[in-house]
Chain A
Amino acid sequence: MEQKVTAASIEKKSLIGQRVKKPDAPDKATGKTRYINDMVLPQMLIGKVLFAGRPHAKIVSMDISAAERLPGVYAVLTGKDAAGLKFGFVRDNVPLKEKVLCEHDEVAAVAAETEEIALNALSLIKVEYEDLPGVFSPEVGREASAPQLRDNFPDNKSLRFEFKHGDLAAAEAASDFIADDVFRPHHVTHCCMGTSCAIADFDNNGKLTIWTQTQYPYNYKMDLAPALGITPGDIRVMQPPVGGAFGSKLDVYPYEPIAALLARKTGRPVKVIYSREDEFRASPTRQAAIIHMRTGCKRDGTLTFRTADVLLDNGAYTSWGPTIPVIMMRTTSGHYRVPVVDFKAQAIYTNNPYAGSFRGYGNVQTTYATAQQMDILADKLDMDPLAFHLKNAQKSGEITPQKSFLRECVLAECLETAAQATDYSRKRAAYAAERDKPGRYKKGIGLASSIHNAGGAKIHKSDGIGTILKVDDYARVTVITGASEIGQGIDAVINLIVSEELGVPLEHVTIVNNDSDIAPWDVGVHASRTTFIAGNGTRQAARKAKAQILKAAEKMLGEPADTLELRGGSVVRDRCGTPLIKLDRLLRQMHFQAVPELVMVTDYYEPNSEPEGADHISDHSAAYSHAVHIAEITVDTLTGEIKVDKITSAQDVGRVINRMGLEAQTEGGIAIGLGYALSENMQLEQGILRNPSFRDYKLVTAPEMPELEMHFIESNCAEGPYGAKGVSELPTIVIAPAIANALFNATGVRIFNPPLSPEKVARAIYEKQQSGK
């Protein structure tokens, strides 16, 4: 078929590394987006949860009769209604409790016509408790004399992890210096701006539709089903827009099955939504830990070994929190070239809130220890930390003791880039020389780095993603993908990749990823994996579609498919860019020919990583990446206030895909890291949260944000889409130790228990001065 060529040639313009806007931003910026929190369904009831408000107690009696009689109340459920509905990682949780194990234990729930009626009903429920002595720290909990919280867990011992590599005794003997410290990373929480919310509705065939904020819609079904006594196949998961997640929605939490139980009881849709106070008290935390770490080195600065003995505050139930050793040991064994490793971790049940996963999962805590011990050792060696880091930095091709294969490793380049950009070595020496001179305000500079998985993490049998891609008669592309969007910007990345591959405008791509009955399977949005995994999945699917289109074009145009390309909405000759036919026209011709052909392809991308095994020796991610942060701070030595003047980051991003999204992820990650380092702290007293509000739980605000300078180092990952690696967690991971190292540089004070709050810093400096007198 001869085509008349009228248009000028279309040049190849790659979008990779360009700035692409999030497609949902206009609706979000105008208040049009309907978040789950905004949703109202016909006949919908409001569910409210009664929390125990005490950390450990027997429920002696419960009287719900007055609540049930209140007009407008449709259901009141208690622990009896949920008996046996065990769920959770080790099946140690139930939606509603018959015994209280932590402050936010859900002891009853109400569904009513309005929130006001539901709250009134809660106030009418009479519960008589018998308080029991509690366990509020893992150190106490592991003693035989401590109250035993669960029958089948002696000494309150929950999960345990171990990893050993090499001859520790020999390595210790060969060490000239050993850093030996106990770090106590604290409880913080996600503070998603949209509070937790779920809407559940059963149809009359017994099938549940649940609108949730979940980050892992497919395995979520498997985890939710036992909490309701139904099969995963009978659950349809809907994912409306959410107000943040950051890892907090990677498990099933009791409010979700509670919404479903209320819906089943009432036969109506039920929405459970948290107040901010509920959110603080009842949503998961970042795992708190006590890390006894030792790192050894020789006089020339060569690392000899690292050990970590970790005690984890499991809290009352087991969610993702106590599984963080899986990542902790990767950092312990892989953060710099560590020839000998001895890692063990034990989680202990307590009556504290329990931890889920949170951006930087396990690595925020571990890097707080490893990156400070690098600084401590450099100090003992009287060596510039930069030189010490460089001496021990891995290079491309190295394999860690856990068999993480660092195929493309640019740690040294990251270190040098950040150090040069900040004039690190000179400033560090100059500030150290000023440290003990008089003066209220002291400047400090601190360097920290870390390693993280950047190509998913195969903690399930598969770390893959399904993609369905169709191109319609108007050359509009729909990508039906398992990849969840929680604000991080996979939508813009998918649009960019489709546009790159199929030569269609960004605006001509639509993503469907909010309905588990439609979109294919994915592990979930976590582990810095989505750009890597979904990016590869999208690219593979797009390339399949492209192959089909070009094959049809070959037939119609009589030119070989491998000489053709898709650009600017047309089929063009690859070499000269001469347009041959408009893509939409070609697609219609394909569709309406004698043997009709639609472009709809499916793809399953599985990264080439190995499943995490019981021995923890596997290449569990398809890529690993490093980041280096340098913090420059000013310390008011009297008030203890740390002002962060500047953060300079250098991160191996593999390759920049969407530059705007990458910057946004980095900036946001740094902000969460700053809050962790400086101000955020769940103040728990005997298991009770004392500061359940933004008034006293302090997030970083706009005026506290320092200047940021970001360097994206491109290592061109062979397995990543266009060379990209996953990026979003490292910025959060590396901040706190960089600031802690800067604090030491400025004042000679080191804080082992974050946050580095003004009071803690002031007190440490005061005590140092007193002891010096």
Chain B
Amino acid sequence: MQDIKTYMTPCSVGEAVKAMAAGGVTAFCGGTDLSPQVESGARQYTATLMNIRRIEGMGGIAEQGDSIRIGALTTVTEIRRDPLIAKVAPILAEAAEHFASDQIRNAASVGGNICNASPAGDMINPLLVLDAEVELARWQDGAVATRRVAMADFFLAPRKTVKRDDELLTAIVFKRPAADFVGYFRKSGPRPALEISTVSVGIGGRMSNGVFRDVRVAMGSVAPTPLRARNVEAALEGKPLNADTIRAAVAATSADAKPIDDVRASAWYREHLVKVFTEEVLNHVLGN
């Protein structure tokens, strides 16, 4: 057990990041990832334990101009049930539907799922498809400074992101998808939800007159980080979505997905599933 010197429950982003500037802060909200990681020894507490759940203005889902802003503390349950999300980004609600269990969904925050930076993080995949950005706050020159980072650039390695230790992920922001946007998410597993994804595939884009544009393809559990499948995207971008295009996209998955063997699946099975899901999701887009 680690010695914790300070426990704090900041009420504002300013209070939180000011403390984080001093270093040695372990932030938590639902604790659904942190607790088992500490228990297993994979992670250690630092001198300050910070409960960020009470920070004002870091929850809730709202429209801001042409964007949707999801506070980092928003729980997966809230996303799953939110009428705005259901309307503008059902792919996100779909991923929330297949996220762990009710008890975890009620506790886990979307910000925590992102910061945990697991290649299998289920909320990450649809947010990559939505081309979301994360908002990072820190204490600079006596005030809160924020920057935005595209989700696609956020992840460096398992449990490693570009977020600095003194930064707090405060929100996720994405442009309201166009009216002709379609997107679907698929994860593996015979269980409907309580399952660490063996593989997940999310695909979204604008579909008009049979042509697929602004295509974004996200994959989980096929590389050290969740990733945008640029080769699959290239195979689809601006093309009429038909059997040939789908075949090309499926073939392109092997250029993006570089899975490994682990306790959950072999690399062969993951590569196989990526192909199956890519085809399945694209057929969904086609309305088949």
Contacts and interface: CB of A to CB of B under 8 A. Distances in A.
A642 B157 CA distance: 34
Contacts of B192: 703
Contact of A759 (B191, B194, B269): B269
A149 B194 CA distance: 41
Nearest to B190: A641
A636 to B, nearest CB: 9
Given A683-B263, A704-B191, 13 more contacts: A120-B1, A641-B189, A679-B190, A690-B263, A696-B263, A696-B264, A703-B191, A758-B188, A758-B189, A762-B273, A763-B269, A763-B272, A766-B272
Interface in B251-271: 263-266, 268-269
Interface in B230-283: 263-266, 268-269, 272-273, 276, 280
Given A690-B263, A696-B264, A642 B272 contact: no
Interface string A459-478: 00000000000000000000
Q: Which of B191, B265, B280 has the most CB of A within 10 A?
A: B191
A696 B120 CA distance: 14
B254 to A, nearest CB: 15
Interface in B193-216: 194, 196
A639 B198 CA distance: 11
Interface in B146-200: 188-192, 194, 196
A704 B191 CA distance: 7
A691 interface: yes
Contacts of B189: 641, 758
A758 B268 CA distance: 13
A638 B263 contact: no
Interface string A687-708: 0001100011010010110000
Interface of B: 1, 40, 188-192, 194, 196, 263-266, 268-269, 272-273, 276, 280
B1 A116 contact: yes
Nearest to A760: B269
Contacts of B40: 277
Contact of B196 (A116, A695, A762): A695
A120 B2 CA distance: 11
A763 B268 contact: yes
Nearest to A758: B190
Contact of B190 (A277, A638, A678, A691): A678
B194 A639 contact: no
A643 interface: yes
Contacts of A696: 196, 263-264
A277 B41 CA distance: 13
Contacts of A277: 40
18 contacts: A120-B1, A639-B276, A641-B189, A641-B190, A683-B263, A690-B263, A691-B263, A696-B196, A698-B191, A704-B190, A704-B191, A758-B189, A758-B190, A759-B266, A762-B272, A763-B268, A763-B269, A763-B272
Interface of A: 116, 120, 277, 638-639, 641-643, 678-679, 683, 690-691, 695-696, 698, 701, 703-704, 758-759, 762-763, 766
Name the residue in B188, B190, B273 with the highest tally of chain A Cβ atoms < 10 Å from its Cβ. B190
A643 B190 contact: yes
Contacts of A703: 191-192
A216 B194 CA distance: 36
A119 B110 CA distance: 34
Contacts of B268: 763
A703 B263 CA distance: 23
Main secondary structure of the interface of A (DSSP, over half): mixed
A379 to B, nearest CB: 27
A642 B263 contact: no
Contacts of B194: 701
B271 to A, nearest CB: 11
Nearest to B193: A703
Given A116-B1, A679-B190, A703-B192, A638 B276 contact: yes
Closest 8 CB pairs of A and B: A759-B269, A638-B276, A690-B263, A641-B190, A703-B192, A691-B263, A696-B263, A701-B191
Contacts of B196: 695-696
A641 B191 CA distance: 10
Contacts of A690: 263
Contacts of A638: 276, 280
A639 B191 contact: no
Nearest to B263: A690
Nearest to A766: B272
A683 B269 CA distance: 17
A696 B265 CA distance: 11
A639 B263 contact: no
B185 to A, nearest CB: 15
A116 B272 CA distance: 45
A695 B33 CA distance: 13
B1 A642 contact: no
Given A116-B1, A638-B276, A762 B269 contact: yes
Most A-side CB within 10 Å, residue of B1, B266, B276: B276
Most buried by B among A641, A690, A701, A704: A701
Contacts of A120: 1
A189 B169 CA distance: 41
B188 A639 contact: yes
Contacts of B273: 639, 762
A679 B40 CA distance: 24
A189 B263 CA distance: 17
Contacts of A116: 1
Nearest to B101: A701
Contacts of A678: 190
Contacts of A641: 189-190
A641 to B, nearest CB: 5
